Amino acid sequence: MTDSPSATGSILITDIGLLSTQTERGDIEDAAFVIEGGRIAWVGAQSSAPSADTRWSASSRCVIPGFVDSHAHLVFAGERSTEFAARMAGQSYSAGGIASTVSATRAASDEALQRNVAALVAELLRSGVTTFEIKSGYGLTVHDEQRSLRIASDFTPETTYLGAHVVPAEFRDDPGGYVDLVTGDMLDSCREHARWVDVFCDRGAFDGDQARAILSAGIEAGLLPRVHANQLQHGSGVQLAVEMDAASADHCTYLDDADIDALANSQTVATVLPGAEFSTRSPYPDARRMLDAGVTMAIATDCNPGSSFTTSMPWCVAMAVREMHMTPAEAVTAATLGGARALRRDDVGRITQGTRADFIVLDAPSPIYLAYRPGVNVIGEVWRNGELVEANSNSSSGGVG
Ligand code: NIG
Ligand code: FE
């Protein structure tokens, strides 16, 4: 039995078999670090660790930064398991399925939506995610987009206005009118609750010109751009993301050489979402090709009821390794530092002096185990802002050393 580490005062995390810093220092064996005021105050070799008010032993396990999930659609009601089963029986995925979640979301109370988000956030934390983004996009009215973002902002500062997820049924004959709403009244109501603006630029959603107008209006309103790009077919989404200096182009399933070149010469992160290809039985993006070209990459869950109903970053890491040809080390970087870059954050995704004390103690000697033991829970402890927030009861216990 061990005591809980104190929330006040400094804590020395000791006996770290392997520390993956995600900085130029790389991995440190037999490492230790000090937490003070929720931040990392010192990192180094266990043998030269300073003293602190409390000690907490990692019991020779591996420590990595908390995962940063830069792409999630958590505000929704209902579920679409039947649609998933139909796809597994051969039906193809289309953006049109979004409509059924929109109906369920509009009909749900604020409390029901809040409870759903809280449950998914709890799942994310258990999977080691300590920073996450939440998009709107299942309301598609001024009222429902605004309340989606209000609810999301109770859980994270990384909120994204996705009024341009799809054209809702009532605007079927007037898509231009819907773009006017998204760039007008809806944006005015949503801007104060959002940090980001996103658009689904793809077949069955919005074309390049519409997407440019939507992102430009968002930027004009003080939001920062990110794009759902090239998921269902090759299109102009990735080029548009780079042109607008979007923080991230997400999906990146269908890319040509010019897209990869543009990404490699930009600040735009390519975010891959293995859950989406898995659940829609689609070809996986070629992460190897992007990495070899020098593109900065992130891995995210894309958690949503239609195309990727997972909150498991360890599973996403395993899939990116197996199906997208990332090395385990590249995948762990993409799920931590890469996610932070996709949110333009430098206070998370790394373990170094000054960053937030957000980290995972793996029940494993190295991060390779995230892919090497697929489907097995190797998340031993999750720490956020210097506090232990999740401890796996099966884990080899850490504790006061
Ligand atoms: O990221 N691509 C667009 N949006 C979601 C899917 C939404 C849905 O099918 O409900 C995605 O995969
Ligand atoms: Fe998405």
Q: Distance (Å, rounded) from C-alpha 47 to C-alpha 265?
A: 42
Question: What is the domain-level CATH number for residue 256?
Answer: 3.20.20.140
Nearest atom of ligand 1 to the alpha carbon of 231: 2
Q: What is the mean pLDDT of the chain?
A: 96
Instruction: Report yes or no: 202 and 173 within 8 Å, Cβ to Cβ.
Output: no
Question: What is the DSSP code string of 335-353?
Answer: IIIIHHHHTT-SSSSS-ST
DSSP element (H, E) containing 20: strand 11-20
pLDDT at 401 over 70: no
Gap from CA of 81 to ligand 1 centroid (Å)? 14
Q: Please say which residue of 325, 342, 359 terminates a domain.
A: 342
**Residue 283: predicted pLDDT:** 97
Q: Using CA of residue 332, residue 335, residue 341, residue 344, what is the dihedral sign?
A: negative
pLDDT at 279 over 70: yes
pLDDT, tens digit (0-9, with 9 covering 90-100), for 131-146: 999 999 999 999 999 9
What totals of helices (H) and strands (E) does the chain contain, helices first?
15, 17
pLDDT at 341 over 80: yes
Q: Are residues 243 and 328 in the same domain?
A: yes
Question: What is the domain-level CATH number for residue 381?
Answer: 2.30.40.10
Gap from CA of 71 to ligand 2 centroid (Å)? 6
Q: Are residues 152 and 287 in the same domain?
A: yes
**Residue 333: predicted pLDDT:** 98
2 within a domain of the structure (yes/no): no
Q: Are residues 74 and 160 in the same domain?
A: yes
Cα 233 → chain centroid: 22
102 within a domain of the structure (yes/no): yes
Nearest atom of ligand 1 to the alpha carbon of 228: 2
For residue 375, with 0-12 CB atoms within 10 Å meaning exposed, 13-18 middle and 19 or more buried, which class applies? exposed
* Listed residues: CB within 5 A of ion ligand 2: 302
State the Cα angle at 218 between 345 and 96, rounded to 5°: 95
Q: Are residues 62 and 82 in the same domain?
A: no
pLDDT, tens digit (0-9, with 9 covering 90-100), for 347-388: 999 999 999 999 999 999 999 999 999 999 999 999 999 999
Nearest atom of ligand 1 to the alpha carbon of 98: 10
Q: Are residues 33 and 155 in the same domain?
A: no
Nearest atom of ligand 1 to the alpha carbon of 202: 2
396 within a domain of the structure (yes/no): no
pLDDT at 184 over 90: yes
What is the mean predicted confidence (pLDDT) over 29-46?
98
398 within a domain of the structure (yes/no): no
Residues with CB under 6 A from ligand 1: 97-98, 101, 200, 228, 231, 276, 302, 304, 306-308
pLDDT at 2 over 60: no
**Residue 96: predicted pLDDT:** 77
Percent of the chain with pLDDT over 70: 97
Pocket perturbation via mutation, ligand 1, pick of 98, 202, 277 by most ligand atoms within 8 A of CB: 98
Q: Please say which residue of 321, 342, 363 terminates a domain.
A: 342
pLDDT at 62 over 70: yes
What is the mean predicted confidence (pLDDT) over 218-227?
98
Confidence of residue 1 (pLDDT cuts 50, 70, 90): very low
pLDDT, tens digit (0-9, with 9 covering 90-100), for 69-91: 999 999 999 999 999 999 999 99
Pocket perturbation via mutation, ligand 1, pick of 304, 308, 310, 316 by most ligand atoms within 8 A of CB: 304
Instruction: Report yes or no: 198 and 164 within 8 Å, Cβ to Cβ.
Output: yes
401 within a domain of the structure (yes/no): no
pLDDT at 3 over 60: no
Q: Are residues 100 and 178 in the same domain?
A: yes
98 within a domain of the structure (yes/no): yes
Q: Are residues 326 and 384 in the same domain?
A: no
Q: Whose CA is nearest to atom 12 of ligand 1?
A: 307
Q: Are residues 237 and 145 in the same domain?
A: yes
**Residue 7: predicted pLDDT:** 55
Q: Are residues 84 and 222 in the same domain?
A: yes
Q: Are residues 357 and 268 in the same domain?
A: no
pLDDT at 61 over 50: yes
397 within a domain of the structure (yes/no): no
Nearest atom of ligand 1 to the alpha carbon of 93: 9
399 within a domain of the structure (yes/no): no
Q: Which ligand is nearest to the CA of 279?
A: 1
Domains in the chain: how many in total?
2
β partners of residue 399 = 57
Alpha-helical (H) ranges within 221-363 are 237-243, 257-264, 274-280, 287-292, 313-324, 328-333, 339-342
**Which structural domain, as residue segments, surrounds residue 289?**
68-342
Q: Are residues 166 and 130 in the same domain?
A: yes
Q: Are residues 136 and 258 in the same domain?
A: yes
